[in-house]
């Protein structure tokens, strides 16, 4: 089944016991509080859920383009990250060097920058996939719960509903990660999922968060 952004929003609202469904987000953003709340929080909920794990559908490999004029004071090279870049995993990963080369993520007004000492850098990364039709069902469930956590407060005064959404997210994200791990053999998950969930850097060159 293919999902739309409105469908994901309606699933999130359903988790909160809200049955006033959204038909079209843009046309209803000014007339329905639930549409406005979903539009406000959807992008952040998506990024948090995408960063929670190395989802097979969002993994990309790209040869990076160098940034001209970089002086190389700290790192030898500066590369422009891909336009759909969300989270970096490895640079020039090989069988002999599965951790790849060291790197650091920075940025400027034009977007994200990858700093490294590696020449001809090839980046393994998670892309910001914005087409809901590409999301597996279990990822949709986790995303909907993450969105429910964020829209619960503006749409309801009941803290218990937000806690229900948090509990649902923990369960859904765990189940989705298990499925993704079985589908993505050869894609290494974060070294410690607990550290990842607490937004703690596993090493100086990689960071991830589960948004719990």
Q: What is the pLDDT of residue 198?
A: 33
What are residue 182's phi and psi, to 5 degrees? -70, -30
Helix axes 159-183, 137-155, angle to 10 degrees: 160
Distance CA 205, CA 212 (A): 22
Whether 151 shows a pLDDT value over 90: the answer reads: yes
Confidence at residue 195, expressed as pLDDT on a 0 to 100 scale = 32
pLDDT in the model for residue 207: 38
| Eight-state DSSP code of residue 211 | -
First to last CA, the chain: 27
Confidence (pTM): 0.82
Cβ of 15: how many Cβ atoms within 10 Å?
22
Q: What percent of the chain has pLDDT over 90?
A: 70
Give 209's pLDDT tier (boundaries 50, 70, 90): very low
Please state the domain extents for the chain.
5-55+136-197, 57-127
Query: Does position 203 have pLDDT exceeding 50, yes or no?
Result: no
CA 6 – CA 142 distance, rounded (Å): 15
């Amino acid at each position: 089944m293919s999902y739309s952004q409105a469908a994901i929003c309606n699933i999130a609202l359903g988790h909160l016991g809200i049955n006033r469904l959204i038909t079209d987000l843009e046309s209803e953003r000014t007339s329905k509080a639930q549409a406005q709340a979903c539009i406000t929080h959807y992008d952040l909920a998506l990024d948090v859920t995408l960063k929670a794990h190395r989802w097979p559908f969002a993994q990309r490999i790209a040869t990076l383009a160098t940034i001209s004029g970089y002086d190389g004071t700290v790192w030898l090279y500066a590369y422009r990250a891909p336009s759909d870049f969300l989270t970096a995993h490895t640079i020039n990963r090989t069988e002999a060097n599965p951790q790849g080369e060291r790197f650091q993520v920075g940025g400027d007004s034009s977007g994200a920058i990858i700093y490294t000492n590696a020449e001809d850098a090839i980046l393994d990364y998670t892309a910001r996939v914005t087409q809901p039709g590409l999301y597996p069902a279990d990822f949709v469930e986790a995303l909907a719960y993450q969105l429910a956590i964020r829209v619960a407060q503006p749409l309801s005064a009941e803290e218990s509903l937000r806690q229900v959404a948090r509990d649902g997210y923990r369960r859904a994200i765990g189940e989705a990660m298990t499925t993704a791990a079985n589908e993505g053999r050869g894609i290494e998950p974060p070294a410690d999922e607990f550290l990842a969930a607490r937004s703690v850097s596993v090493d100086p060159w990689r960071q991830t968060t589960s948004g719990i």
